[in-house]
Amino acid sequence: MSDTALGHARHVVTENPVTGFALALFILFVLAAIFGPSLVPYDPLASDTANALQAPSGQHWFGTDQIGRDIFSRVVVATRLDLGIAAASVALVFAFGGFAGLVSGFFGGWVDQVIGRVSDTIMAFPLFVLAMAIVAALGNTVPNIVLATGIINFPLYVRVARAETVQRREAGFVDAARIAGHRDMGVLLGQVAPNIMPIMVVQMSLTMGYAILNAAGLSFIGLGVRAPTPEWGIMVAEGASFIVSGEWWVALFPGAMLMTAVFCFNLLGDGLRDIVDPRRRT
Amino acid sequence: MKRRSFLKAAPAIALAAPAIGAAPRDAAAQAAPTRNETLLLVQEYGPNSLDMQGIGSSQPVNGVALNCYDRLVRFKRKPFDDVTTSFDIKALEPELAESWQEASDGTSVTFKIRADARFHSGRSVTARDVKWSLDRAVSIGGFATTQMAAGSLEKAEQFVAVDDKTFRVDFLRRDKLTMPNLAVTIPFVFDSEKAIANSGGDVWAKDYLKNNICGGGAFKVEAWRPGTETIYSRFDDWKSGPLPKLRRIIARDIPSPSTRRALIERGDADISYGLPPKDFKDLVDAGRLKVSAVPVPNAIWYVALNAALPPFNNVKLRQAVAWAMPYEHILQGSLFGRGVPMWGGPSTPAELKWPVPFPYSTNIERARALMAESGVAPFSTTLLYDAGSGTIGEPMAVLIKEALAPLGITIELNKIPGANFRGELNKKTAPMVINRFGGWLDWPDYFFFWNYHGNNSIFNIPSYQNPAMDRLIDAARFAPDEASYDTNVRGFLELGMHDVPFVPIVQPYHDVAMQRTIGGYQFWPCREPDFRYLTKG
Amino acid sequence: MSAATPAAAASQSVLDVTDFSVEFRTRAGIVRALDRVAFSVGRGETMALVGESGSGKSVTAYALLGLLDAAGRITGGSARLEGTELTSASPAALSAIRGKRAAMIFQNPRAALNPIRNVGKQIGDVLRRHAGLGARAAAAEAIEMLRAVGIPDPARRAGAYPFELSGGMCQRVMIAIAVATRPALLIADEPTTGLDVTTQAVVMDIMGRLAAETGMATILITHDLALAAERSGRIAVMHAGHIVEDAPTKTLLLYPRHPYTRRLLAATPTAAGNLADLRSIPGNLPDLRRDDLPPCRFAARCDRRLPACEAPMQWRELEPHHRVACWNPA
Amino acid sequence: MSGQIGNQPTPPEAEGPLLLDIAEVSKRFPVGKTGWLSGKSHSLVHAVDDVSLTLARGETLGLVGESGCGKSTLVRLLARLTDPTSGSIRFGTRELSAIPAKDFARDPDRARIQIVFQDAGESINPRFTAADAIADPLRQLQGLTGDTLRQKVEEAATLCGLPLELLARFPHQLSGGQRARVGIARAIGPRPDLLVLDEPTAALDVSVQVTILQLLVSLRESLGISYVFVSHDLNVVRLLCDRVVVMYLGRIVEVGPARAVFDAPLHPYTRGLVAAVPRLDGVRADALRLVGDPKSPIDPDPNACRFHGRCPIGTDRCGVEMPELRRFAGGRQAACHYAEEAPA
Amino acid sequence: MRGLLLRLAGSLPALVAVIIVTFVLTRVLPGDTATYFAGPTASAESIAQIRAELGLDRPLPEQFWSYVQALVHGDLGMSLTTGQPVLTDILARLPASAELTLCGLLIGMAIAIPLGIIAAVRQGSLADHACRVIVTAGVSLPVFFTGLLLVYVFYFLLGWSPAPLGRLDAFASPPPAVTGFYLIDAALIGDWETWRGAAAQLILPAVTLGLFALAPIARITRASMLAVLGAEFIRTARASGLSSRTLILTYALRNALLPVVTTLGMVFSFLLGANVLVEKVFAWPGIGSYAVEALIASDGAPVQGFVLTMAILYILLNLAIDLVNRALDPRARHT
């Protein structure tokens, strides 16, 4: 009887090879983020104009860019920053959005109204443009990118956390906790929060992908991370002008890396949802 | 390359069909222009106004002024190469004026306006129209007024409508730039009656002229969809030159440079304006298209070092930086060779012109030595560049950052969105700035006046203040004779080379790509395309 | 157990089930949910299938009508509905039988109706599918069916959605859907669980009346012995996938022979004079995933266990119409 | 902090015959999604309407009625999970109705009133083990920690017949009967004076139900707890309860000794209810069948009997005059104008 | 109807908040509008003069007040980049964006809903996994990157698609504006030549957007189909022997559509925002690219106008979703 969560997870991974694949990719990305900078063959910042725009070769696996930097090294080194931004913004919105959703769903009333209105307001913005405006107004620094990405995800977290909380607000165990002498906050944080945690984790995995895309989109527009820091979005933007001229690798590899990372988090989120979803847990 | 030539063979079917479909609806056109009389031009962005004199007009508005309005005179055209016709800044030819005569005392010039010249409205062009237009240029404020002033055209009283067809300009002072300045895109002539009639009470009819062409140039604006396209059609009654061959011009705004390149390479567009240097290099190399490459007169890409603030107020440090610049890398890596080197020249200028190669070149040993001499300890600083400079500014900045690191200079790059760039420069606090500047009027003293003069105009980005320099510039501007002019020019050139508040990198090319069937490409100081001479087929 | 035809099979039997076995393949192993279940239901007869949760009573119904999910499959035996073999019928054939010859109603009627389709149409859907009626005729007939199950103002209620009706009303609609095509067999799976007792009584009345009027056979699946006692002519008691005893209702209640039946009765509060009279049943249901399931699945909990109980189980017909699967009946 | 909270021995001054005295308690909920924008007055669901009842020490009171009769709301009111709209709830000598429900969690009397919930599986936090669940009120209400806590948890589990090796399991790893035992152990841990049992066996099979009922009886005897036992199963109520309260649409229609009420109901609704319960002897009382559905609980007519319209013996009087709960011999009460009349 | 009006009124606070937030955001944008407007050679005095003319020297609340006053009169201000009134610009460009986004959504729906149904009906099968991978890949592609690749492959390399020149080929003229949607307007006058031209231009950008819309739609379709297929009323329908066509389409799908419709609304508003990048790549004269350019240029009025338009659209969209939900779900009609 493999009734434990771990056993279930193992089952999901074996029954669903796609999730296993995503998990392997995820581990690879994490390793790249941690060890990437010390493993890459070239200095990601070192130019070499004599070898600019070289096609992929044994020397430069992913080719070189306009001023001869090694794209492979840059792509690998960028992992840390891109994942870092995404993870930080997701953590931020998880803390604030998740809590707001909990409170909103649990207490209802005016708290719910206020938080709902804030969410509505954010939702009424075209989200990417809102992120752009925030970064443009506050300056394109990494913390501001994190903040902007967090803000545009806020309504999503509020909604998910709120819906899950509302479902459990009337649950027997909530009453039981009250009977056991817990006050509202105690019930909320001690009883309800742990229960919605799995769903929130799924949400985090799914939004990681979106956060990466968003940060890269900002960089693509020119409002993201500053040059010459390696970052996938900037690299795609830089490479965009070389696609038609035949130097496809300048944009393709960072673009593919970006896509793979987002893909990985999305698949992982899906897989996690299967693990968490009680309907699949018979 | 084989792939592309194969592709080239594929005809642009997509284009042909809709044009046929469109024709019957175009009821206004009696005989619609044929495809050979229509030109499709793609550019990054189009005009934000139809009035070049108006405040806040963008660069492409020059093209509107050029094609839809006439000036009294234009620069004399002269062949540059087999693709391009350029101009002689020192010689003029008639446009709206059929002749002109400078007063013997040299205090005025009198123009005779072409008798047959008519506005689009059909009305004859009169001297009153010219006066109203020039009055407007010197009074409206903003860029137009500043540009007029650069040629000592400053007051409305200078302009006199002697009679219907005679017009006089009184000189404020002897200025060699006065006459050439009448040929740039600003002092163009409006149909003043129509403008006033539609002005809605505004003296200069700003709103009306912003949205309407009200003149007598070779082209009218048939449709203007800001941010999308501008469609020009020929004014068949134009008399100020040979009737243009093209009857219709469609100028589409295509922000993505690779799309513009794709369009021209696949033969869907006739002319592409403003491609990144890399694309031009490829197109030149491929040789299937005509590429016009003109070194932009008077212009350079440079790095400005803030001479007013530490640490770059130390001339040795500036020289060290000039010796450390990765010139060749920048030319190749950032401009793909599309530029004239401005380094490695003799220690004194070889020619008295601008731009001229500076004596610096990449020599890290000399740079280190000068750095040591300067006594400046390793430091961190910021390098600003315009986000709009796209694929040029950023690699240049990255290469500079890398090249200066060995000197102990740590650089943070700061890409500024186009709109803020000017504001940042206005603050005069930026330690290092990558920028490009070129004056319309191609005289060395003109460039130096704007950039090096102690009156600290916005373009004096390094905030360079040197009374000796100011004296030399002022002396050259109003030099009574050739010899004294030459002496002073040599003087400020040498001083500029020694003090290096600006480290010139390259003189850029103005590159335009066009189909082989396109002829008659004309280059003007404003760099916008002139449709009047273009031919197709 | 042998494959003996149940004694109760009347001449006019509608459904004959013999040696009917069902398994579920799960991650944790194969669940032997039904083992050689056998019974028959005659025309007009109401048979109750009684047992605790997990005894397999619902699985029996689902398996008969081909409604098992992908994990379940019939591993043996036969089930003949009016002579048609159901176990080997194709899905299409089963689908044609379901709702036409054999219908089923479920517990929790409100959830068992399509929430966004009005009840008239839901009844009409069955009529159009099985009775070949056109839309208009089906709508008219649906109203008649609503009238037949005692819904007041049927013409108006036909346009109502399930959320606008009470639980009892919804269950009547379910019954209308089920009996619209005059099926030969109605399986009612805990039809009144979750309904209030007063509503339960009304719903059961309607079912009984319709069965009497149309002569359809009814299988009433319930955990409530008292309900079965009131509403059925015969009761089959299930335990862990076996039918352990099958007898006319009165006989079973008065003279239960299988130890499990006796235990079940002793645990039912209905009859007890006071709480101390109630007796629980020791032990738990055996794990049906085990490969070494004993022949008698009650043996481990049974106080009348004999060494003989290790032998394969066989039906014993103690008296006419009273079968028991026990080596040592009381 | 642990000092003030938790159960002290029942104080001597609280020693009185009545543990619980509820008087004229009502609970109304606004219905419909109405905000400040709509501006219209709220409709109210009269979930519990003017209910008065008492519970003596050591007594077991049954609460029966069909869905929507207000049992659940009444339970939440007496367990102080929700605040009454009006009325008084006296517990011992204390008036509890004035203490807001959200503050009652830290009230000294919190430990004295505990609940066993309907669905034991759902009422145990799925992320907590059985031991966590039982420990929770002990930790919160009595401030127990460490070994004392563990000891108390094990004691409660043992009392409820829960094998100690199951304490480390999560709810979904327990059977229905085991979960019910966890729920009971959790509730008796703080040694309450009043235990509200909200359909504790509804989800259980009869064989398991028996053991739970017997457990409840033995706990009542050994711990001296008073029960309010809510159930829709009249048979169970009859076996377990001393007295029974029958509710219909938020109001009490009949009160009395359990056996007397079920054997000879006074109120026509009680009669219909009792008659509808299936009997093992198969004898049906079809004549007393109640037809139709209850009226809407939203803004009911205050002057009409709630049962009016569905009542087999009702007259026009019932539509204009709300019957009072009247006293009858044998400690019985019924709210019917015609309670004296023999069943038809 | 009353409910709808209430909802509309209920979204007013959000609208007001959007106006305030946008106003503040655009005011703290680092660019100096006056400097930009004054041109490269302006003196400090002329900059100050322009600043005064634009009212930028007044305190923020006062500026906000005049902004709101203008807003009430339908005046959204002037764009510096196009030199036109923002309202004119937006009205001219909105149909382009809306047409593109709608087509993207339709393409997304046309692929994602069947995929979601198949995945749900065959849960756990190879088709299910494949569907999941495909839609996830779609949402993982950065739109700017997809757009570039599509142009490169389908226009530059293969030449299958017309030049990415905007809504119509340069030499064609747009159909007379009725709805502003070229496809509809061209169809109205029966000009199929133009219709084909417009469709050809539309297809690549719409596919780019559609790819992005696949995942949310397919996911919610699958999830809600799964939930519905597991519902008890489906079991009833099966027990009634209803044909699988009736079962899946009439019973399951209609119920499953309820959450799908809600998601579609969200996806639509999300796409309207996401197409800023697509418009940039395809030179699409929509409001997204307009806003981006304005934002980069610190041109406040167009950004404010854009955000306001989008907010109103968002509110109307939610209203439309409500209406659709009411049509689909009788329960919604009774609240």
Q: What is the pLDDT of residues A195-223, one digit of tens each?
A: 888 888 888 888 888 888 888 888 887 78
User: Distance (Å, rounded) from C-alpha A84 to C-alpha A225?
Assistant: 12
- Closest Cα to residue E123, out of A115, C71, B284? C71
- Cβ separation of C116 and E330 shorter than 8 Å? yes
Find all residues with CB under 8 Å of C63, minimum gap 6, and list them. Answer: C20, C22, C34, C72, C74
- Cβ separation of D35 and E335 shorter than 8 Å? no
| Residues B411 and B383 sit within 8 Å (Cβ to Cβ) | yes
| Residues of A in Cβ contact (< 8 Å) with B393 | none
Q: Could you tell me if D119 lies within 8 Å of chain C, comparing CB atoms?
A: no
**Same domain? B447 vs B532:** no
User: D199-215 burial, b for 16+ CB within 10 Å, e for fewer?
Assistant: bbbebbbbbbbbbbbbb
**Same domain? B317 vs B414:** yes
Chain A (137-196) residues lying within 8 Å, Cβ to Cβ, of chain D: 171-173, 175-184, 186, 191, 194-195
Work out the burial of residue C84: count CB atoms within 10 Å of its CB; fewer than 13 is exposed, 13-18 middle, 19 or more buried: middle
Inside any domain, residue B20: yes
C180-210 tens-digit pLDDT = 989 999 999 999 888 888 889 999 999 999 9
User: Distance (Å, rounded) from C-alpha D76 to C-alpha D51?
Assistant: 14
User: What radius of gyration, in Å, describes the C-alpha atoms of chain A?
Assistant: 22
Return the half-sphere exposure (C-beta side, CA atoms, 13 A cut-off) of residue A4.
5
pLDDT band, residue D296 (cuts 50/70/90): confident
- Cβ separation of A2 and C26 shorter than 8 Å? no
Return the half-sphere exposure (C-beta side, CA atoms, 13 A cut-off) of residue D27.
23
pLDDT confidence of residue C50: 93
- Domain of residue E106: give its range: 86-334
**Same domain? E172 vs E279:** yes
Work out the burial of residue C20: count CB atoms within 10 Å of its CB; fewer than 13 is exposed, 13-18 middle, 19 or more buried: buried
Inside any domain, residue B357: yes
pLDDT band, residue A108 (cuts 50/70/90): confident
Find all residues with CB under 8 Å of E33, minimum gap 6, and list them. Answer: B419, E54, E56, E80, E298, E299, E300
Mean pLDDT for chain B overall: 88
Q: Are strands B108-113 and B166-170 parallel, antiparallel or unpaired?
A: antiparallel
pLDDT confidence of residue B209: 93
B347-399 tens-digit pLDDT = 888 888 989 999 999 999 999 999 999 989 999 999 999 887 767 888 899 99
**Same domain? E145 vs E283:** yes
**Same domain? E224 vs E132:** yes
Mean pLDDT of A126-151: 88
Residue to mutate among E5, E6, E331, with most D CBs inside 10 A, is E6
**Same domain? B159 vs B15:** no
- The minimal CB distance from A133 to the residues E25, E148, E272 is found for E25
Q: Could you tell me if E3 lies within 8 Å of chain D, comparing CB atoms?
A: no
- Domain of residue B18: give its range: 1-32
Percent of chain E exceeding pLDDT 90 equals 6
Q: Could you tell me if C147 lies within 8 Å of chain E, comparing CB atoms?
A: no
pLDDT band, residue E73 (cuts 50/70/90): confident
Chain A (73-92) residues lying within 8 Å, Cβ to Cβ, of chain B: none
Mean pLDDT for chain E overall: 83
The domain boundary residue, chosen from E18, E42, E72: E72
Q: Worst-scoring range by mean pLDDT, B393-402, D36-45, D125-134?
A: D36-45
Write out the residues of chain D at the interface with chain E, using a CB-CB cutoff of 8 A: 33, 35, 37-38
**Same domain? B340 vs B227:** no
Q: What angle do CA D172, D175, D176 make, to 5 degrees?
A: 100
Inside any domain, residue E44: yes
Q: Could you tell me if A128 lies within 8 Å of chain E, comparing CB atoms?
A: yes
Mean pLDDT of D72-95: 89
**Same domain? E304 vs E277:** yes
| Residues of A in Cβ contact (< 8 Å) with B394 | 227, 238
**Same domain? B306 vs B240:** no
- Cβ separation of B415 and A66 shorter than 8 Å? no
Q: In this complex, which chains have at least 3 CB pairs below 8 Å with chain D?
A: A, C, E
**Same domain? E106 vs E250:** yes
Q: How far is C140 from chain D (nearest CA, A)?
A: 24
**Same domain? E103 vs E56:** no
**Same domain? B454 vs B484:** yes
Inside any domain, residue B442: yes
- Every domain of chain D and the residues it spans: 265-341
| Residues B76 and B163 sit within 8 Å (Cβ to Cβ) | no
Q: How far is E21 from chain C (nearest CA, A)?
A: 41
| Residues of D in Cβ contact (< 8 Å) with C157 | none
Give the CATH number, domain containing residue B83: 3.40.190.10
pLDDT confidence of residue C108: 85
pLDDT confidence of residue B25: 41
User: Distance (Å, rounded) from C-alpha D203 to C-alpha A172?
Assistant: 14
Mean pLDDT of A223-251: 84
Inside any domain, residue B286: no
**Same domain? E50 vs E100:** no
User: Distance (Å, rounded) from C-alpha B91 to C-alpha B93?
Assistant: 7
**Same domain? E57 vs E119:** no
In Å, how far from its chain's centre is CA A7? 26
- Cβ separation of D280 and C271 shorter than 8 Å? yes
pLDDT confidence of residue A172: 83
Chains A and C are touching, with contact defined as 3 or more CB–CB pairs separated by less than 8 Å: yes
Mean pLDDT of C86-98: 89
Number of structural domains (chain E) is 2
Give the CATH number, domain containing residue E309: 1.10.3720.10
pLDDT band, residue B76 (cuts 50/70/90): very high
Mean pLDDT of D84-107: 87
The domain boundary residue, chosen from E11, E45, E72: E72
- The minimal CB distance from A241 to the residues B258, B387, B398 is found for B258
- Cβ separation of C28 and A1 shorter than 8 Å? yes
**Same domain? B140 vs B190:** yes
User: Distance (Å, rounded) from C-alpha E290 to C-alpha E294?
Assistant: 6
How many residue contacts between A and B have a Cβ separation below 8 Å? Answer: 72
Number of structural domains (chain B) is 3
| Residues of B in Cβ contact (< 8 Å) with A224 | none
- Cβ separation of B269 and E298 shorter than 8 Å? no
- Cβ separation of A194 and D125 shorter than 8 Å? yes
Residue to mutate among C198, C225, C284, C287, with most D CBs inside 10 A, is C198
Q: Are strands B379-386 and B409-416 parallel, antiparallel or unpaired?
A: parallel
- The minimal CB distance from A172 to the residues D117, D127, D173 is found for D117
Inside any domain, residue B261: no
**Same domain? E152 vs E194:** yes
- The minimal CB distance from C104 to the residues E239, E254, E328 is found for E239
Inside any domain, residue E78: no
User: Distance (Å, rounded) from C-alpha A166 to C-alpha A170?
Assistant: 7
pLDDT confidence of residue B96: 93
- Closest Cα to residue A8, out of A191, A206, A279? A279
pLDDT confidence of residue B363: 93
pLDDT band, residue E179 (cuts 50/70/90): confident
D152-180 tens-digit pLDDT = 999 999 999 899 888 998 888 888 889 99
Return the half-sphere exposure (C-beta side, CA atoms, 13 A cut-off) of residue C138.
19
Q: In this complex, which chains have at least 3 CB pairs below 8 Å with chain E?
A: A, B, C, D
| Residues of C in Cβ contact (< 8 Å) with A11 | 27
| Residues A62 and A55 sit within 8 Å (Cβ to Cβ) | no
**Same domain? B430 vs B460:** yes
User: Distance (Å, rounded) from C-alpha B309 to C-alpha B304?
Assistant: 12
**Same domain? E103 vs E14:** no
pLDDT confidence of residue B126: 94
Q: Worst-scoring range by mean pLDDT, B283-287, B520-524, C182-186?
A: B283-287
Chains D and E are touching, with contact defined as 3 or more CB–CB pairs separated by less than 8 Å: yes
User: Distance (Å, rounded) from C-alpha E136 to C-alpha A205?
Assistant: 13
**Same domain? B431 vs B501:** yes
Which tokens belong to C37? 């279940």
Residue with token string 């006419």: C320
**Same domain? B492 vs B375:** yes
Which tokens belong to B30? 């009696």
pTM of the model: 0.83
Numbers of helices and strands, H then E, in chain E: 16, 0
**For C287, nearest residue in chain A (alpha carbons):** A1
- Cβ separation of A194 and D102 shorter than 8 Å? no
Q: What are the percentages of helix, strand and coil residues in chain B, rounded to 5?
A: 35, 25, 40
Q: How far is C289 from chain A (nearest CA, A)?
A: 11
User: Distance (Å, rounded) from C-alpha D265 to C-alpha D339?
Assistant: 9
- B3 pLDDT above the threshold of 70: no
DSSP E strands, D65-205: 86-91, 94-95, 113-116, 194-198
Work out the burial of residue A246: count CB atoms within 10 Å of its CB; fewer than 13 is exposed, 13-18 middle, 19 or more buried: middle
User: Distance (Å, rounded) from C-alpha B385 to C-alpha B414?
Assistant: 6
ipTM of the assembly?
0.81
**Same domain? E62 vs E94:** no
Mean pLDDT for chain C overall: 87
Inside any domain, residue E77: no
Residue to mutate among A266, A277, A279, with most E CBs inside 10 A, is A266
In Å, how far from its chain's centre is CA B457? 18
- Closest Cα to residue D203, out of A279, A172, C271, A176? A172
Residue to mutate among B42, B265, B278, with most A CBs inside 10 A, is B278
**Same domain? B213 vs B351:** no
- Cβ separation of A179 and D106 shorter than 8 Å? no
Which tokens belong to D295? 């009226």
Domains and CATH numbers, chain C: 10-101+185-324 (3.40.50.300), 111-182 (no CATH)
Mean pLDDT of A63-77: 91
Interhelix angle D130-142/D146-159, rounded to 10 degrees, is 120
**Same domain? B478 vs B428:** yes
Q: How far is D148 from chain C (nearest CA, A)?
A: 33
Inside any domain, residue B283: no
Inside any domain, residue B454: yes
Q: How far is C26 from chain A (nearest CA, A)?
A: 9
| Three-state DSSP class for residue C189 | strand
User: Distance (Å, rounded) from C-alpha B460 to C-alpha A161?
Assistant: 57
| Residues B117 and B216 sit within 8 Å (Cβ to Cβ) | yes
Q: Could you tell me if D281 lies within 8 Å of chain C, comparing CB atoms?
A: yes
**Same domain? E203 vs E58:** no
- Cβ separation of E283 and B255 shorter than 8 Å? yes
- Cβ separation of C268 and D276 shorter than 8 Å? no
Domains and CATH numbers, chain A: 65-266 (1.10.3720.10)
At C245, phi and psi to the nearest 5?
-155, 145
